[in-house]
Amino acid sequence: MGKLNVKDKELEDMFKEASGPINFTMFLNQFGEKLHGTDPEDTILNAFRMFDPEDKGHVHKDEYVD
């Protein structure tokens, strides 16, 4: 099996993010987010909400293009 350069502190922080005991599926999901550099879903949704404060489900490009 390959080695990853993951510090103990990073693993501890990842485990603290869990809402309870971590099963293998949860571990893979959390670790996958770290490997791919993606943000959790709520972070992404909050970013979109900043551009769609009325929660219409879409934005118009003319609002953001000069």
pLDDT tens readout for residues 10-34: 778 877 887 778 887 887 777 777 6
53 lies in a domain? yes
Residue 42 pLDDT class (50, 70, 90 cuts)? confident
Q: How many domains does the chain have?
A: 1
Q: Contact 31/15 with Cβ under 8 angstroms? A: no
3 lies in a domain? no
17 lies in a domain? yes
2 lies in a domain? no
Identify the domain containing residue 27 by its residue range. 8-63
Q: Is the pTM of this model over 0.75?
A: no
pLDDT at 31: 74
pLDDT at 5: 67
Higher pLDDT, 63 or 6: 63
32 lies in a domain? yes
**Contacts with 7 (C-beta within 8 Å, 6 or more apart), sequence order:** none
Long-range contacts of 61-66 (CB under 8 A, 24+ apart): none
1 lies in a domain? no
